[in-house]
Amino acid sequence: MPNKHQNASKISRRNFVKFGGAVIAGSTLNIPPLKNAHLSQEETEAKIKEYRVLGRTGFKVSDISMGTTRMREANVVRYAYDSGINYFDTAESYGNGNSEKMIGEALQFMDRKKVFITTKLHFEENATKEELLERFTKCQERLKTDYVDALYIHSASTVKILNHTGFHDAVKELKAAGRLKHTGVSNHGPRGDGESMEKVLCAAAEDGRFDLMLLSYNFMNKEEAEKVLAACKKNNVGTTAMKTSPGMLAVSPLDPDNLTKDQQEYLDRIMKRGTSKEKAMARLKRRVNRQLASYENSKTFVEKHGIKTQDQLRKTSIHWVASNPDMHTTCVSFSSFDMIDMIVPVSGVKLSAADQQFLEDYKLVFNAQYCRHGCNNCVSSCPHQLPVSTIMRYAYYYEMQGNEKLAMEKYLKLRDKNASLCFDCSAPCTASCPHNLDIPVQLTQAHSLLTLV
Amino acid sequence: MKNSISLLLILLIVISIPAHAIDFPTIKSFTPESEVAKYNPETLYEYINGGADVFLSFGFKELLTKDFSYQELQFSVDIYDMGSRVNGFGIYKVERPVDANFLKIGVEAVVSPPYQCLLLKDSYYVKINIFEGEFRQESGKDILRKVSAALPGSDKQPTEFSVLPVKNKIAYSEGYSREAFLGIDLLERCVYAKYKKDSASFRYFSIVSIKEEPSKITWQKISEKWKHAEAGKSTVLYKKIPYKGYTGIILSGDKILGVADCKNLEQVLDLLNVIVK
Ligand code: SF4
Ligand code: SF4
């Protein structure tokens, strides 16, 4: 029997249904006229202060823009607009099309010419022009707009997809009909077997057919993303940042007699696999101790900067991105009025030296604990060519996901190419991680974890 | 939103595997056309890209997906385990069409021709994507019934909804918002439903209490930010929501009950009076 995903490319309609678009039936464009829009404004607390030219589109966009993956209330879009935000990002797959619907609902309270609406379609190689046109038609119906400002290839993971004939043919037709103005490419960073974000987006920027790039950009991935920004600047391509606030301050009080939900779930999972309660509890305690040790390591930093809230980290991270003039707009997934009031004040304000220092310190502390998914910079320094990031990922499955069985099975499959080799090694890899991970230490710990020795 | 630090610091997204992991069920009369593919919170992006964020925000645990043929149709069945019945309800509500003929299959289901059926049963949200063959309402219902029968668990609405009044409730209008209900950060974990009485439309809601944050703590947090009004012996907390009139909440026993979309404070008090009774 074929594997589900070997099979996938044979079926063209799969793209269509998997990535949404089933909310409205029919393929002929059918946009109901807007109700008499009354454009009365709500008094918002904060206002956008800076607008930047979005590359060769020539459109002046707010330096803070709105992403809609977590948005549940059309009124939050309206509030963002009243705060001066004029760039709204959505996709066919967000909420199975319902996110586009909410923007459509809010659009009746906006001056259409003053806002920039983007949506995205994800597709595989076998998608046809007709299929993409049909899906775009539905996006447009949900958005209730005569034209969409930009259509992105959603999560383009290879350079090859940039040349998709069906996509470019569909775009040509849509532009000729006045239904689409620009095209772009989005990339979330390396995934699975995909190519790096830098490779895909630099190729897209040089290509000439794409006017916009939507990229993952934050103070933790500065180096990779700035190569993309340079390529965009050279080609006058518009830039939008997403995934702007990495890092999380998660709180979990530790009381063995009063376990948190997460700890209880961890315990239940282990016991479900036949482990006795006593042993499961011992494992949970070891896990908690490791977490405590990690907290202890970070304590000085947390105290030095008086970090009280996740919001503080989020706001400063977003501010850092918005402070880069080569990033035309910083897309934030707003779910509430409060969040808009919290983030919009960073618009047009220079990042203070103290905040800059805060992020630098944060990066120093946390970079060293986090092996980058899809990175293999250090592999060439290892005489055994150990798959370092893969081994660390398995440790992550084990420790953070509690998926011990899967992690250990996968690790076993590496056979003799595993981290037992690190125990008797002079560790030439030691200084090879650009993110300062202590590779030998992390790998030997991972080995102990994944083999239970 | 977390607002204090007590003990530990974890980088990036904190995730966990399913609490009630199942194997892909055998579905009567369906012919398997592929192996099962599995996705966890870390890999879900590989399957549904940016759409994954919303699943993660509802506590997604695991996705099992497999292709089948049945009669002249070919389709994939995606089973999302959301970890709890109320989370399953939440994501189903986010993804289902706004207006459709909702069906009493599982907890609820909908056939959305030409290509999709959605089903909610227990903590499982199921998306059936038809990719070959002529697909009609009747065949959709047939498929949904078969999938529902194969899945374990309850066909009932999550118990959290039982606090909402039945009278004047608009059928199939219930939902669950994990964060920022009404666009307000303080309103997390809200079950709600829409109501129509005479010419008035409004929503009742209740904040689901959890061990880590019992209702009294939530009440305390909100009372620091919202206005107070007296209603007999009780206190009502209320707030004006941009474009949507007034909302108010009351602490009744160990539950926080609320009403939204009211034109003024009087209406808030009247309607809260009804729900408390
Ligand atoms: S310590 Fe491990 S990863 Fe580093 S060079 Fe030696 S074997 Fe390779
Ligand atoms: S240890 Fe450093 S260089 Fe090696 S894979 Fe991880 S992040 Fe990359």
Residue A355 included in any domain: no
Residue A136 included in any domain: yes
Are A112 and A33 in contact, with CB atoms under 8 Å apart? Answer: no
Chain B touched by A312 (CB under 8 Å): no
From B16, B66, B180, residue closest to A402, measured CB to CB: B16
Whole-number pLDDT of residue A269: 65
Whole-number pLDDT of residue A438: 76
Measured in angstroms, the CA of B180 and the nearest CA of chain A are apart by 6
Are B181 and B190 in contact, with CB atoms under 8 Å apart? Answer: yes
Based on the domain organization, do A288 and A380 belong to the same domain?
yes
Whole-number pLDDT of residue A452: 67
CATH number at residue A165: 3.20.20.100
CA angle B77, B119, B193 (to 5 degrees): 150
Residue A27 included in any domain: no
Q: Which two tokens stand for residue A133?
A: 């046109």
B269/B23: higher pLDDT: B269
Checking if the pLDDT of A103 tops 70, the result is yes
A301/B88: higher pLDDT: B88
**Which positions in chain A touch B5 (Cβ < 8 Å)?**
249, 251, 302, 307-308
Residue A390 alpha carbon to ligand 2 centre in Å: 10
Ligand closest to A374 (CA) is 2
- Tell me if A427 CB under 6 Å of ligand 1: yes
The average confidence (pLDDT) of chain A is 81
pLDDT band at B5 (very low <50, low <70, confident <90, very high): very low
Determine the residue type at B102: F
Residue A240 alpha carbon to ligand 2 centre in Å: 27
CA-based Rg of chain B, rounded to a whole angstrom? 21
Are B100 and B112 in contact, with CB atoms under 8 Å apart? Answer: yes
What is the value of pTM for the model shown?
0.76
How much is the average pLDDT of A19-44? 50
Residue A58 included in any domain: yes
Checking if the pLDDT of A373 tops 70, the result is no
pLDDT band at B215 (very low <50, low <70, confident <90, very high): very high
Checking if the pLDDT of A101 tops 70, the result is yes
Based on the domain organization, do A295 and A316 belong to the same domain?
no
Q: Which residue of A has its CA nearest to B180?
A: A336
DSSP structure class, residue B23: P
Are A25 and B114 in contact, with CB atoms under 8 Å apart? Answer: yes
Based on the domain organization, do A280 and A212 belong to the same domain?
no
Residue A431 alpha carbon to ligand 1 centre in Å: 11
pLDDT band at A362 (very low <50, low <70, confident <90, very high): low
Checking if the pLDDT of A7 tops 50, the result is no
Are A295 and B9 in contact, with CB atoms under 8 Å apart? Answer: yes
How much is the average pLDDT of A286-304? 59
pLDDT band at B14 (very low <50, low <70, confident <90, very high): very low
How much is the average pLDDT of A215-230? 84
How much is the average pLDDT of B54-77? 91
From B8, B15, B46, residue closest to A292, measured CB to CB: B8
Whole-number pLDDT of residue B211: 76
Based on the domain organization, do A213 and A338 belong to the same domain?
yes
How much is the average pLDDT of A118-144? 94
B276/A234: higher pLDDT: A234
Strands B234-241 and A212-216: unpaired
Please give the Cα distance from A411 to A395 (Å, whole number).
9
DSSP, residue by residue, A92-103: TTGGGGHHHHHH
The average confidence (pLDDT) of chain B is 87
Are B117 and B143 in contact, with CB atoms under 8 Å apart? Answer: yes
For residue range B89-128, list pLDDT tens digits in order: 999 999 998 778 899 999 999 998 667 899 999 999 999 9
Checking if the pLDDT of B7 tops 70, the result is no
Inter-chain CB proximity A308 and B182 less than 8 Å: no
Q: Which residue of A has its CA nearest to B5?
A: A251
For residue range A45-82, list pLDDT tens digits in order: 789 999 999 999 999 999 999 999 888 899 999 999 99
Minimal-distance CA residue to ligand 1 atom 7: A422
B242/B41: higher pLDDT: B242
Based on the domain organization, do A162 and A273 belong to the same domain?
no
> Which residues approach ligand 2 with their CB closer than 6 A?
A 371-372, 375-378, 388-389, 433, 435, 437, 439
Based on the domain organization, do A381 and A403 belong to the same domain?
yes
How much is the average pLDDT of A159-185? 97
Chain B touched by A23 (CB under 8 Å): yes
**Which positions in chain B touch A341 (Cβ < 8 Å)?**
none
Ligand closest to A368 (CA) is 2
Please give the torsion angle defined by the CA atoms of residues A442, A445, A447 and A453, in that order, rounded to the nearest 10 degrees: 170
- Of A71-80, A225-234, A242-251, B155-164, the poorest mean pLDDT is in A242-251
Domain spanning B159-276: which CATH class is it, in words? alpha beta
Inter-chain CB proximity A261 and B212 less than 8 Å: yes
A409/A12: higher pLDDT: A409
Residue A52 included in any domain: yes
A41 Cβ neighbours under 8 A, 6+ residues apart? A82
Checking if the pLDDT of A256 tops 70, the result is no
A38/A389: higher pLDDT: A389
From A386, A423, A430, A445, the mutation candidate for ligand 1 (largest count of ligand atoms within 8 A of CB) is A386
A229/A440: higher pLDDT: A229
Bridge partners (DSSP) of residue A332 are A66
- Of A84-88, A306-310, A437-441, B179-183, the poorest mean pLDDT is in A306-310
From A435, A441, A442, the mutation candidate for ligand 2 (largest count of ligand atoms within 8 A of CB) is A435
Whole-number pLDDT of residue A270: 64
A12/A154: higher pLDDT: A154
What percent of chain A is predicted at pLDDT more than 90?
41
Bridge partners (DSSP) of residue A60 are A53
- What is the extent of the structural domain holding A292? 261-302+368-450
Q: Which residue of B has its CA nearest to A153?
A: B49
CA A128 to chain centre: 27
Whole-number pLDDT of residue A6: 39
Please give the Cα distance from A145 to A30 (Å, whole number).
10
Residue A224 included in any domain: yes
A35/A385: higher pLDDT: A385
Q: Which two tokens stand for residue A240?
A: 């939008």
Please give the Cα distance from A229 to A234 (Å, whole number).
9
Out of B129-133, B205-209, B212-216, the most confident range is B205-209
Whole-number pLDDT of residue A20: 47
Whole-number pLDDT of residue A411: 87
Inter-chain CB proximity A98 and B49 less than 8 Å: no
Q: Which of A105, A120, A110 is nearest to A85 (CA)?
A: A110
Residue A357 included in any domain: no
For residue range B242-267, list pLDDT tens digits in order: 999 999 999 998 899 999 999 999 99
How much is the average pLDDT of A265-278? 72
How much is the average pLDDT of B74-79? 95
Are A263 and A284 in contact, with CB atoms under 8 Å apart? Answer: yes
**Which positions in chain B touch A95 (Cβ < 8 Å)?**
51, 54, 94-95
CATH level 3 topology of B16-150: Protein Transport Mog1p; Chain A (3.40.1000)
Chain B touched by A14 (CB under 8 Å): yes
Consecutive H or E run containing B237: strand B234-241
How much is the average pLDDT of A270-280? 73
> Alpha carbon of A340 to those of A248, A307, B225, B241: distances in Å?
19, 21, 17, 14
Per 3-state DSSP, chain A is made up of helix, strand and coil in percentages (nearest 5) of: 50, 10, 40
Based on the domain organization, do A152 and A59 belong to the same domain?
yes
Chain B touched by A369 (CB under 8 Å): yes
In a mutational test of the B interface, the residue from A6, A75, A96, A338 whose CB has the highest number of chain B CBs within 10 Å is: A96
Chain B touched by A11 (CB under 8 Å): yes
B191 Cβ neighbours under 8 A, 6+ residues apart? B86, B158, B160, B161, B163, B164, B174, B175, B176, B205, B206, B208
- In degrees and rounded to multiples of 5, residue A242 shows phi and psi of -130, 175
Whole-number pLDDT of residue A25: 36
Checking if the pLDDT of A278 tops 90, the result is no
Please give the Cα distance from A233 to A217 (Å, whole number).
15
Please give the Cα distance from B101 to B96 (Å, whole number).
11
Whole-number pLDDT of residue B193: 97
**Which positions in chain A touch B4 (Cβ < 8 Å)?**
251, 308-309
Whole-number pLDDT of residue A27: 41
Across the A/B interface, how many CB contacts are shorter than 8 Å?
239
A289/A98: higher pLDDT: A98
Whole-number pLDDT of residue B157: 93
What percent of chain A is predicted at pLDDT more than 70?
74
**Which positions in chain B touch A261 (Cβ < 8 Å)?**
210-212
Q: Please state the atom number of ligand 2 nearest to the C-alpha of residue A376.
A: 5
Based on the domain organization, do A131 and A243 belong to the same domain?
yes
Whole-number pLDDT of residue A241: 95
Please give the Cα distance from A248 to B9 (Å, whole number).
7
Residue B264 alpha carbon to ligand 2 centre in Å: 58
Please give the Cα distance from A362 to A349 (Å, whole number).
21
A282/A206: higher pLDDT: A206
Based on the domain organization, do A177 and A296 belong to the same domain?
no
Residue A122 included in any domain: yes
How much is the average pLDDT of A183-208? 83
Ligand closest to A441 (CA) is 1
Out of A223-232, A265-274, B158-167, the most confident range is B158-167
Q: Which of B157, B145, B176 is nearest to B107 (CA)?
A: B157
Whole-number pLDDT of residue A314: 81
Are A231 and A258 in contact, with CB atoms under 8 Å apart? Answer: no
Checking if the pLDDT of A421 tops 70, the result is yes
Chain B touched by A293 (CB under 8 Å): no
Whole-number pLDDT of residue B147: 97
Whole-number pLDDT of residue A26: 35
Based on the domain organization, do A436 and A320 belong to the same domain?
no
Residue A369 alpha carbon to ligand 2 centre in Å: 10
Are A120 and B50 in contact, with CB atoms under 8 Å apart? Answer: yes
Ranges of each domain in chain B:
16-150, 159-276
Whole-number pLDDT of residue A127: 93
Residue A421 alpha carbon to ligand 1 centre in Å: 7
Q: Which two tokens stand for residue A422?
A: 């690190």
Chain B touched by A265 (CB under 8 Å): yes
ipTM of the complex: 0.82
Inter-chain CB proximity A70 and B32 less than 8 Å: no
Measured in angstroms, the CA of B218 and the nearest CA of chain A are apart by 17
Checking if the pLDDT of A226 tops 60, the result is yes
Based on the domain organization, do A150 and A276 belong to the same domain?
no
Inter-chain CB proximity A252 and B40 less than 8 Å: no
Based on the domain organization, do A164 and A281 belong to the same domain?
no
For residue range B146-163, list pLDDT tens digits in order: 999 999 999 999 999 999
From A5, A25, A98, residue closest to B114, measured CB to CB: A25
- Tell me if A384 CB under 6 Å of ligand 1: yes
What percent of chain B is predicted at pLDDT more than 90?
65
Count of domains in chain A?
2
Are A67 and A326 in contact, with CB atoms under 8 Å apart? Answer: no
